[in-house]
């Protein structure tokens, strides 16, 4: 291992039942060499000049170790440039790690880049057979599945058109259709589902859920945090090529948001080093139901009280407060702020406390998170405290979802 890499950090993704491991990643690092001269002329000019380096090393991954069990759905999160796509390509065998090892079991299908595996001068039909053969299918197997692939892709007569004339959505639809019909044990998906139209995205997500029910393993890179929380059992957060966190999808999303906020603060401090980047803070958030003991489940009809405390190191003439309530999957079910409710806060001199009351709450059963914030008059956040408080609504025995309504049913004669 090269000694100029960051110190190693080991993480393990496991499940309680201890199923067999399908992907084992041990101390994987990947180095790229970035050239600073962009042309042959520049290379000739800089050739032989002492002390000038025309290239530099960049470690996209640094000592990453993960164990991914069969039947799990793992999300990879991280800021741009964190190494997510590089790791997925290494798992898929598209690139070789500089050091470390990756062991895989079973057939693997990868959707890593738009049109990867497609030749632009071949037709869609020809590319189906080419791509399927790359993924391990024989010609006879592809012929048996061709009609299903064509039907799923929905590209119709364009199947006999050269793919260089395809739209990005058509690329994705055909590539996804081929990948899922190769009967993979492990499916790698890198953000490509964001390209297709809404109907096709729903079809793809339904197929992923079907794969989950069949016990297949899915490794997913997505910038949709709600999608990660909805689909993934566990998630891994990468930053600067290192594993920073592994655990439940909800906790990983919170960790990832903390990293993004840290980056925002660092960028603000770099731009204005003499100005405090975060003069405002949400110092405390408390949520309770009137008349209920701490930790007790909230009931429909309760009055929910959200109390928040704020501070600002400099006088703040105009500001507003607010909060949002989300499910554990990241779906917002309610949000409000002082501006919407017509309250003008007094100028903030040091600290302030605000209390909101929600009467007769009718949220569906399950856990909820409260995110509290203070903001500028134009709505720009000054400070936000994510997952600042949590409460649990009692289960609804008559329905499911995030709201409660009175429902009746009656049979109609034919």
Q: Tens digit of pLDDT for each residue in 359-373?
A: 999 999 988 999 999
* pLDDT band of 255, cuts 50, 70, 90: confident
* pLDDT band of 98, cuts 50, 70, 90: very high
Alpha carbons 355 and 219: distance in angstroms, whole number = 42
Lowest mean pLDDT among 36-50, 56-70, 192-206: 36-50
pLDDT > 70 in the chain, percent? 84
Q: What is the pLDDT of residue 168?
A: 77
Alpha carbons 310 and 80: distance in angstroms, whole number = 31
- Statement: residue 36 has pLDDT above 70: no
Q: What is the pLDDT of residue 259?
A: 80
CA 44 to chain centre: 44
- Per-residue pLDDT reduced to its tens digit, 268-310: 666 655 555 568 999 999 999 999 998 899 999 999 999 999 9
Decide which of 7 and 73 is more confident: 73
Q: Is the dihedral of CA 362, 363, 367, 369 positive or negative?
A: negative
Q: What is the pLDDT of residue 107?
A: 84
Q: What is the pLDDT of residue 160?
A: 92
217 φ/ψ angles, rounded to the nearest 5 degrees = -100, 135
- Statement: residue 80 has pLDDT above 60: yes
Alpha carbons 122 and 269: distance in angstroms, whole number = 51
Q: Which is nearest to 215 in space by CA: 103, 73, 338?
A: 73
- Reduced to 3 states, what is the DSSP secondary structure of residue 57? strand
Alpha carbons 362 and 303: distance in angstroms, whole number = 10
Domains along the chain with CATH numbers: 9-37+54-257 (3.40.50.300), 278-393 (2.70.50.60)
What would the mean pLDDT of 66-70 be, rounded to a whole number? Answer: 92
* pLDDT band of 9, cuts 50, 70, 90: very low
pTM attached to this predicted model? 0.67
Q: Which is nearest to 319 in space by CA: 276, 373, 371, 357?
A: 373
Phi/psi zone of residue 95: left (φ > 0), alpha (ψ -120 to 50 degrees), beta?
Answer: beta
Asked if residue 173 lies in contact with residue 155, where contact means CB atoms within 8 angstroms, the answer is yes
Structure tokens at 270: 């770099």
Average pLDDT, the chain: 84
* pLDDT band of 4, cuts 50, 70, 90: very low
Alpha carbons 323 and 381: distance in angstroms, whole number = 11
| Highest mean predicted confidence (pLDDT) among 49-53, 112-116, 268-272, 366-370 | 366-370
């Amino acid at each position: 291992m090269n000694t100029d890499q960051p110190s190693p950090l080991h993480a393990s993704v496991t499940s309680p039942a201890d199923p067999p491991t399908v992907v084992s990643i041990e101390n994987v690092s990947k180095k790229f060499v970035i050239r600073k001269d962009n042309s042959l002329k520049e290379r000739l000019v800089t050739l032989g000049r002492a002390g000038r380096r025309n290239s530099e090393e960049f470690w996209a991954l640094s000592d990453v170790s993960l164990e991914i069990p069969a039947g799990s759905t793992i999300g990879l999160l991280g800021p741009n440039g964190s190494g997510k796509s590089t790791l997925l390509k290494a798992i898929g065998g598209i690139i070789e790690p500089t050091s470390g090892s990756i062991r895989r079991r079973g057939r693997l299908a990868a959707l890593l880049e738009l049109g990867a595996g497609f030749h632009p001068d071949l037709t869609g039909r020809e590319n189906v057979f080419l791509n399927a053969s790359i993924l391990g299918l024989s010609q006879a197997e592809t012929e048996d599945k061709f009609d299903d692939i064509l039907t799923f892709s929905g590209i119709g007569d364009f199947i006999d058109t050269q793919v260089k004339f395809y739209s990005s959505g058509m690329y994705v639809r055909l590539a996804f259709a081929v990948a899922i019909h190769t009967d993979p044990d492990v499916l790698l998906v890198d953000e490509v589902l964001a390209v297709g139209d809404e109907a096709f995205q729903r079809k793809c997500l339904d197929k992923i859920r079907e794969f989950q029910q069949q016990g297949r393993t899915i490794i997913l890179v997505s910038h949709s945090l709600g999608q990660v929380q909805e689909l993934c059992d566990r998630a891994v957060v990468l930053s600067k090529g290192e594993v920073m966190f592994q655990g439940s999808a909800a906790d990983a999303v919170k960790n990832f948001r903390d990293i993004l906020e840290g980056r925002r603060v660092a960028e603000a401090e770099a731009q204005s080093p003499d100005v405090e980047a975060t003069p405002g803070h949400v110092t405390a958030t408390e949520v309770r139901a009137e008349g209920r003991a701490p930790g007790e489940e909230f009931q429909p009809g309760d009055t929910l009280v959200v109390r928040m405390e704020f501070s600002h190191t400099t006088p703040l003439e105009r500001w507003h407060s607010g909060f949002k309530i989300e499910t554990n999957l990241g779906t917002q079910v309610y949000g409000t702020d002082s501006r919407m409710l017509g309250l003008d806060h007094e100028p903030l001199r040091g600290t302030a406390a605000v209390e909101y009351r929600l009467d007769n709450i009718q949220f569906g059963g399950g856990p909820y998170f409260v995110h509290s914030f203070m903001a500028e008059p134009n709505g720009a956040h000054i400070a936000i405290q994510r997952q600042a408080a949590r409460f649990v609504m009692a289960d609804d025995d008559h329905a499911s979802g995030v709201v409660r309504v009175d429902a009746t049913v009656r049979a109609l004669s034919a």
